[in-house]
Structure 1
Amino acid sequence: MEIKTEILIHSTPEKVWSILTDFDKYPEWNPFIKYIQGEVKEGNQIKVKIEPEDEKGMKFQSKVLSFQKNRELKWIGRLLFPGIFDGEHQFLLIDNGNNTTTLKHNEKFKGILKGLLNLEKTKKGFESMNIKLKELAESNG
């Protein structure tokens, strides 16, 4: 199972990245990921809380798989232990070379409980986060 979303942002990858990786400000703007705690660097464990609209939030222990400045942030989150419910979450920034950035926001799901996931609501959460990130990156603030 996989969710794939994409949005064109009229801003540089550097500005998009600075917002995306300012985890302390997530509660102020992010409608989907309520927090990321811990030192985000490759190999480190972090805590991620997601909260799709009108749903109870879920907290995941996650391992950072990739942290490439202005390019990619990827982690794998697990519920309890591997094989129950695993989600490999990715943000990929593509520099279009014309002061625009394409954000690809994806997740692959595996595990015996993956069928319980509401894909439609989760995708809607990804898209709402993408729109808010676009609004912030395109603003002059």
Structure 2
Amino acid sequence: MKKILLIDDNDTYTWCLQKYLQHRGYPVKTACTLKEARAAIQEEIPLVVCCDLDLPDGSGMDFLDEVRATDKEMPFILASCHDKDDYEQEAKRRGVTLCMDKMKGLLLQDKLVEYAYRQLSGEKKKTLTGRGFRALSCITD
């Protein structure tokens, strides 16, 4: 079964999000650098990518470009603690599916579950609706 690929250098945040998604029944692969993310994608095409904007070895925006060069349809969520107004327009121009504020943890978790569900169900819709999922929410720095 394809996995959700979480790319973030904050171990606590990644652990919380991974546990939430696994509890909902979704397999998860994690990476803390772009190098690890590239290796993960070479190993298996993910169901959904959720990538931090700022990583130790590069930008999530640049990784978005790499993914879009080979796959225009894969759901790609760019998550950051930065104000979305600072990067969202550029990310949309580059083909991001969704930009999310990491500090709104439960909302991000719900959107990841929704995208994963749609991919597994074969849905190709890009519009989102609320699902009302409730589960553990982790607070990070």
Report the TM-score range of the alignment, normalised by the length of the smaller protein: 0.3 to 0.5
The structure in which a higher percent of residues are helix is: 2
Larger RCO, structure (CA 8 Å, separation 6 or more)? 1
Give the TM-score of the pair, scaled to structure 1: 0.34
Structure showing greater radius of gyration is 1
